[in-house]
């Protein structure tokens, strides 16, 4: 630990919520990092929209941290840094989910480190665990609550806030993206699931290949009915091996109380990793917020300084499977007359849809018929729902939401 060692120079691109928090955190932790590493990290240059010169910052740094977000110029800057032989750290999930292979390939060819812990689930160390701790484990499935904004909105709505109030609060607390439609449409979570799928299965997954839906169209009464059935609602990403291929998706999903993701609330994120050899591991913690995310970025910087990380592995492409089995919640608004329940169950039976539980409630002139199915192929349920929608006694479009059955009690 010689005091004569030169400082470790960090070039910083971007000075928004996370960038500013990272600069402050690094200044506060520099002495401690020098104590165990021998070199003191320091910010050698900052590029913002109005100040700084990229070429100068690149030439004057040992490692480049990209926290600007967006595809360009972030992509070009990272490629230039890699080409110059510099290690890089980024939190850019949109970039990695759309141009990850190009970046991984360049980093591999040039032999530099590309670290991105903060791109998925904020400070929850899921990237490092998948890359290192579980690198010898054949992963079967990952479930994740990987968007803090939507989890915060759903938690607040359960407590009585409106959707608009909860979203405004998430924005003011720095959880939401610059364009919050990325959060509420599920696109932000989809980008993170694409990255997790690449890490878990070695197969390149582009954001465009992830099927996703968000929380904007949820109906409050679905939440109320589901509570009667013992279910809670989360925006859940799933990446899993299916039929020799791979399925990656994000959907609003009901969970029974015993599932490890069921208790994750507020801006917290959690990722559950399943494999025969390990049963199940769940990691959870703050998934959004400047200071929290900055900790993950600084952890990556220290990892590079100490040589703790390895270059990205080469791709191992798998087929993407889109028609997968799931249990479903099914909501039907029906006329209250003889033969309705028999008609519904006949159609479901014809499509191999088996009912796990059912609730019926009269509404005066009609009835709400709400049921949870056992696992069924999505295409089978879709055909059944199409037939149900055509009945005269079904008075509005049937609604379906996925249910995860495991409770890990």
- Which of the stretches 144-152, 232-240, 254-262, 277-285 binds ligand HSE when contact is defined by CB under 6 A? 144-152
Per the listing, tokens 């690094």 go with 26
Write down the least CB distance from residue 286 to ligand HSE, Å.
Answer: 9
Q: How far apart are alpha carbons 245 and 237 in whole angstroms?
A: 17
Q: Does 106 bind ligand HSE (CB under 6 A)?
A: no
Which of 86, 192, 234, 346 does the annotation list as catalytic?
Answer: 192
Question: Could you tell me the end-to-end alpha-carbon distance of the chain, in angstroms, rounded to an integer?
Answer: 49
Return the residue of 148, 285, 290, 299 that touches ligand HSE, per CB under 6 A. Answer: 148
Write down the least CB distance from residue 120 to ligand HSE, Å.
Answer: 8
- Which of the stretches 2-10, 142-150, 278-286, 295-303 binds ligand HSE when contact is defined by CB under 6 A? 142-150
Q: How far apart are alpha carbons 135 and 139 in whole angstroms?
A: 9
- Of 158-187, binders to ligand HSE (CB under 6 A) are 175-177, 183
| The token pair that represents 145 in the structure block | 């609550």
CA distances to 40, 90, 203, 246, 307 from 108, in Å? 27, 16, 16, 24, 15
DSSP class per residue in 180-219: THHHHTSHHHHHHHHHHHHHHH-----GGGSEE--STT--
Closer of 288 and 332 to ligand HSE (Cβ): 288
Q: Does 125 bind ligand HSE (CB under 6 A)?
A: no
Q: Does 147 bind ligand HSE (CB under 6 A)?
A: yes
| The token pair that represents 214 in the structure block | 């968000």
Question: Residues 258-287 vs ligand HSE: string with x where CB under 6 A?
Answer: -----------------------------x
Instruction: For residue 192, indicate whether it is catalytic.
Output: yes
CA distances to 120, 155, 213, 233, 358 from 229, in Å? 32, 18, 23, 12, 8
Return the residue of 122, 252, 312, 398 that touches ligand HSE, per CB under 6 A. Answer: 122
Question: Residues 284-313 vs ligand HSE: string with x where CB under 6 A?
Answer: ---xx-------------------------
Q: How far apart are alpha carbons 328 and 353 in whole angstroms?
A: 10
Beta bridge partners of 8: 41
| The token pair that represents 361 in the structure block | 């409630």
Q: Does 155 bind ligand HSE (CB under 6 A)?
A: no
Q: How far apart are alpha carbons 254 and 221 in whole angstroms?
A: 14
**CA geometry: angle 166, 170, 173, nearest 5 deg:** 135
Which residue of the chain is nearest ligand HSE when measured via CB?
Answer: 149
Chain center to CA of 280: 18
Write down the least CB distance from residue 28 to ligand HSE, Å.
Answer: 22
| Nearest Cα residue to 374 out of 402, 355, 359 | 355
Closer of 148 and 299 to ligand HSE (Cβ): 148
Write down the least CB distance from residue 92 to ligand HSE, Å.
Answer: 10
Return the residue of 66, 117, 131, 188 that touches ligand HSE, per CB under 6 A. Answer: 188
Q: What are the residues binding ligand HSE (CB under 6 A)?
A: 122, 147-149, 175-177, 183, 188, 287-288
**Any idea which residues carry the catalytic annotation?**
192
């Amino acid at each position: 630990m010689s005091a004569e060692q030169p400082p470790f120079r960090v070039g910083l691109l971007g000075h928004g919520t996370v960038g500013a928090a990272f600069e402050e955190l690094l200044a506060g932790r520099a002495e401690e990092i020098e104590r165990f590493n021998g070199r003191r990290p320091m910010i050698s240059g900052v590029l913002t929209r109005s100040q700084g010169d990229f070429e100068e910052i690149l030439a004057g740094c040992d490692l480049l941290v990209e926290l600007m977000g967006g595809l360009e110029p972030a992509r070009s800057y990272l490629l230039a840094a890699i080409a110059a032989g510099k290690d890089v750290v980024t939190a850019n999930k949109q970039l990695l989910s759309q141009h990850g292979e190009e970046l991984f390939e360049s980093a591999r060819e040039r032999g530099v480190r590309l670290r991105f812990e903060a791109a998925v689930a904020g400070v929850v160390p899921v990237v490092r665990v998948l890359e290192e701790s579980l690198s010898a484990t054949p992963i079967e499935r990952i479930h994740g609550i990987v968007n803090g904004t939507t989890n915060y909105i759903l938690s607040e709505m359960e407590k009585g806030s409106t959707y608009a109030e909860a979203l405004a609060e998430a924005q003011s607390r720095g959880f939401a993206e610059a364009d919050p439609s990325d959060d509420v449409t599920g696109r932000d979570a989809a980008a993170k699931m694409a990255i997790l799928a690449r890490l878990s299965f070695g197969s390149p997954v582009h954001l465009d290949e992830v099927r996703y839906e968000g929380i904007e169209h949820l109906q409050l009464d679905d939440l109320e009915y589901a509570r009667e059935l013992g279910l809670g609602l989360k925006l859940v990403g799933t990446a899993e091996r299916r039929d020799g291929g791979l399925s990656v998706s994000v959907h609003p999903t009901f969970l029974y109380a015993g599932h490890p993701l069921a208790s994750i609330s507020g801006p917290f994120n959690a990722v559950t990793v399943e494999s025969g050899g390990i049963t199940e591991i769940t990691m959870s913690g703050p998934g959004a917020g400047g200071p929290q995310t900055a900790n993950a970025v600084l952890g990556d910087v220290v990892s590079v300084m100490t040589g703790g990380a390895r270059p990205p592995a080469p791709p191992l492409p798998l087929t993407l499977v889109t028609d997968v089995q799931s249990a479903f919640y099914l909501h039907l608004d029906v006329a209250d007359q003889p033969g309705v329940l028999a008609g519904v169950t006949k159609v479901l039976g014809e499509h191999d849809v088996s009912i796990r539980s059912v609730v019926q409630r009269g509404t005066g002139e009609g009835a709400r018929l709400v049921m949870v199915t056992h696992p069924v192929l999505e295409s089978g349920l879709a055909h059944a729902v199409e037939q149900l929608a055509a009945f005269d006694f079904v008075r509005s479009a049937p609604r379906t939401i996925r249910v995860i059955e495991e409770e890990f009690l």
